[in-house]
Amino acid sequence: MALAGVEANGIQIDVQYLDGAIADVGARIQRLEGQFRDHAYWTEWKKLYGTNANLGSREQLGKLLFSHMGLANERTTASGKLAVDAVALEQCQHPFARNYIKLENLKKLQSTYLLGVRREVAPSGLLHVFYNLHRTLTYRSSSEAPNFQNIPIRDPEMAKWIRRAFVPRCNRQLLELDFKGIEVGVAACYNLDPQLISYVKDKSTDMHRDTAAELFMLPETAIPKNVRQAVKGSFVFAQFYGDWYVACTKSLWADIEKLGLKTADGVCLYEHLARHGVRERGECRDSTTATGGTFEAHVKSVEKKFWKKRFKVYDRWREQFYSDYLKNGGFATHTGFYITGLYGRNNVTNYPIQGSAFHCLLWCLIRLGRQLRQRRMQSLIVGQIHDSMVLDVVPAELDEVVGMVQEIVRSLLKEWRWIIVPLEIEMELAPVGGSWFDKKEFKI
C-alpha cells in the first residue's frame, strides 16, 4: 500500500529539458557513428560482414579486433566465448576500441534512460514508476517501467544528462534520505561479530582504512581517500559478499593504474609496493599460483588475517548459517521471512542481510507516508532505491519532515530489538526548483 502511494504520487519530469537532451544526445550519437564509418577499420569490418555489417554488434566487433586483427583478449563470457565488454575493449589500448566504448555509453544513456523515461511520462508530466515486492529472491523490492533504481550517478556526465530531467513540483525541492552503511550494520546484526560491531559503532575507527593499510603496506594515518575507496569496493565489500583473494588481487592491482593510486607522499603504489618487496601482481590463475614476493601472495595473507583474526566471528557465522541451511533446507530472516530453495553459500549468507536492510527502509517509508497524510502535509514520497527514499518537499515543511524521519528511525530501533547497531540517516537536498542532479549533502 505504501509503495502504491509512492507510485501514485509520481515524480515530476522536466519534459522540455528531456526532449532537448534526447535531440542533443541523438546528434552526438549520429556524429560519432559517422566518424566510425570513416575509419579504416570500418572498411575491414565491411569486408568481413558485407551488407550484414552492424556497428551495434559486439560479436562482429570481437571478430574484427580479436580474430581478424589479432589483438589480445583473454576475457571470456559465461558460455566460453570471447568477451567484448568495456574491460576487454579498454585493454586494446586502441582509439577505435576506446571510442566504441564512448559511443556505447551514449547509446545506453539515450535508449535506456532518456528515451526510457520519456516513453513512460504521463501527459501530466509525472512519471509513475512501479515497485515490486514479489520478484526478488531476497525480499528486496525491484522497480520497473522505468527502473528508478539504476539511474546513472557514478559517472557525473551521464548523471547530469538524465538526472537533470527529474525535478520537484512547483516551488518545491527534492530531498533524498538514505541509511548510511545499512548493509554492513545489518550484517553485524546477524553475525554479532564484536569487531564489526565496534567498527560500526565507533566513528573514530574505519575498517576500510585499516584494511587499506595492510593491503598496501601504508601507515593507517596516511591513507589517501581514493585508496580507501578502492579498497572498500574491491576488497572489503567484495569479501563480505563472498569474493576471494585471487579476484580481489586482480581488481586492486588494476585499480592502481586506473585510479592512479599513490601514497600520501605521491609515490605510485606499484613503486611503493616494489620498495616493500612486492614487484609483480602474480599469475592469479587459481589457488595454487600465489608465489612469494607477489601481490597475489600478499593479498592472500591479508585475506587470511581479515577472516581468521579480525572478523573471525563473522567468518564462523557464515559457516554455521550455511551448514544450518543445508540441514534445514531454508533459513529465516530477522524480518520474518523463511527462505527455502536451492542456493549456494554466498546466496544464503547474503540474502537475509540484503532483504532485512531493505525492510528497515520500507518500515520507515510506510510510517513516513502515513504520517505525511495524517498531518495533511503537502510533501510527498516520490521514489525509493533500496536504502534510500526521494521526497518532493514543500520548503516550509522541510524541518518537520526531517524531524519526523528521525523520530521514525528512533521508533524502529525500539520496535526491532534485533537491530543492535545505531542507524544513521544521511540527507541530500536540492535547491528549490533544482533537479535531482543538484542535490548536495544536507545537515541540520
Partner DNA sequence: AAACAGTGCGCG
Partner DNA sequence: AAAGCGCGCACTGTTT
**Per rule CB under 7 A, is residue 138 in the interface with DNA?**
yes
**Which region, left, alpha or beta, applies to residue 57 given φ > 0 means left and ψ of -120 to 50 means alpha?**
beta
Judged by beta carbon, residue 350 or residue 379, the one nearer DNA is 350
CB atoms within 10 A of CB 324: 13
Among 14, 71, 94, 142, binds DNA (CB under 7 A): 142
**Per rule CB under 7 A, is residue 26 in the interface with DNA?**
no
**Per rule CB under 7 A, is residue 246 in the interface with DNA?**
yes
Among 115, 313, 366, 420, binds DNA (CB under 7 A): 115
The minimum distance between CB 300 and DNA, in angstroms, equals 10
**Per rule CB under 7 A, is residue 35 in the interface with DNA?**
no
The minimum distance between CB 266 and DNA, in angstroms, equals 29
Please tell me the count of residues contacting DNA according to CB under 7 A. Answer: 72
**Per rule CB under 7 A, is residue 71 in the interface with DNA?**
no
The minimum distance between CB 104 and DNA, in angstroms, equals 6
Task: Determine the interface stretch with DNA among 149-157, 166-174, 192-200, 330-338 (rule: CB under 7 A).
Answer: 149-157
Q: What SS3 state is found at 86?
A: helix
Tell which residue, 409, 374, 419, has the closest CA to residue 389: 409
Judged by beta carbon, residue 57 or residue 371, the one nearer DNA is 57
Judged by beta carbon, residue 12 or residue 138, the one nearer DNA is 138
For the CA atoms of 410, 413, 415, 417, what is the dihedral angle to 10 degrees? -160
Q: Rule CB under 7 A: which of 348-407 touch DNA?
A: 350-351, 354, 385-388
Q: Is 442 exposed, middle or buried (0-12, 13-18, 19+ CB in 10 A)?
A: middle
Q: Label residues 125-157 b or e (16+ Cβ within 10 Å = b).
A: eebbbbbeeeeeebbbbbbeebebbebbeeeee
Task: Determine the interface stretch with DNA among 34-42, 91-99, 101-109, 409-417 (rule: CB under 7 A).
Answer: 101-109
Q: In the stretch 325-344, what mask flags binding to DNA with x, by CB under 7 A? A: -------------------x
**Per rule CB under 7 A, is residue 107 in the interface with DNA?**
yes
Task: Determine the interface stretch with DNA among 85-93, 215-223, 410-418, 432-440 (rule: CB under 7 A).
Answer: 85-93
Q: Label residues 276-312 b or e (16+ Cβ within 10 Å = b).
A: eebeebbebeeeeebeeebbbbbbbebbeebeeebbe
Residues in the chain: 444
**Per rule CB under 7 A, is residue 425 in the interface with DNA?**
no
Alpha carbon distances (Å) from 265 to 150, 208, 217, 224, 385:
37, 20, 14, 10, 39
Judged by beta carbon, residue 382 or residue 394, the one nearer DNA is 382
The minimum distance between CB 110 and DNA, in angstroms, equals 7
**Per rule CB under 7 A, is residue 187 in the interface with DNA?**
no
Q: Phi and psi dihedrals of 87, rounded to 5?
A: -65, -45
**Per rule CB under 7 A, is residue 83 in the interface with DNA?**
yes
Partner residues linked to 167 by β-bridges: 12
Respond yes or no on whether the N-terminal peptide bond of residue 146 is cis (omega within 30° of 0): yes
Q: What SS3 state is found at 105?
A: helix
**Per rule CB under 7 A, is residue 171 in the interface with DNA?**
no
Question: Rounded CA gap, 433 and 171, in Å?
Answer: 6
- C-alpha cell read off for 348: 544464503
For the CA atoms of 192, 197, 200, 206, what is the dihedral angle to 10 degrees? -120
Among 15, 126, 159, 217, binds DNA (CB under 7 A): 159
**Per rule CB under 7 A, is residue 67 in the interface with DNA?**
no
The minimum distance between CB 101 and DNA, in angstroms, equals 7
Look at strands 166-167 and 11-13 and give their pairing. Answer: antiparallel
**Per rule CB under 7 A, is residue 72 in the interface with DNA?**
no
Query: Which pairs with CB-CB distance under 8 Å and at least 24 residues apart come from 81-87?
Result: 84/58, 84/59, 85/58
Q: Rule CB under 7 A: which of 253-282 touch DNA?
A: none
**Per rule CB under 7 A, is residue 287 in the interface with DNA?**
yes
Judged by beta carbon, residue 244 or residue 418, the one nearer DNA is 244
**Per rule CB under 7 A, is residue 289 in the interface with DNA?**
no
Tell which residue, 152, 120, 126, 179, has the closest CA to residue 436: 152
Task: Determine the interface stretch with DNA among 137-145, 209-217, 390-398, 406-414 (rule: CB under 7 A).
Answer: 137-145
Tell which residue, 334, 315, 301, 357, has the closest CA to residue 416: 334
Among 93, 132, 171, 406, binds DNA (CB under 7 A): 132
**Per rule CB under 7 A, is residue 124 in the interface with DNA?**
no
**Per rule CB under 7 A, is residue 201 in the interface with DNA?**
no
Partner residues linked to 280 by β-bridges: 294
Q: Rule CB under 7 A: which of 217-236 touch DNA?
A: 233
**Per rule CB under 7 A, is residue 153 in the interface with DNA?**
yes
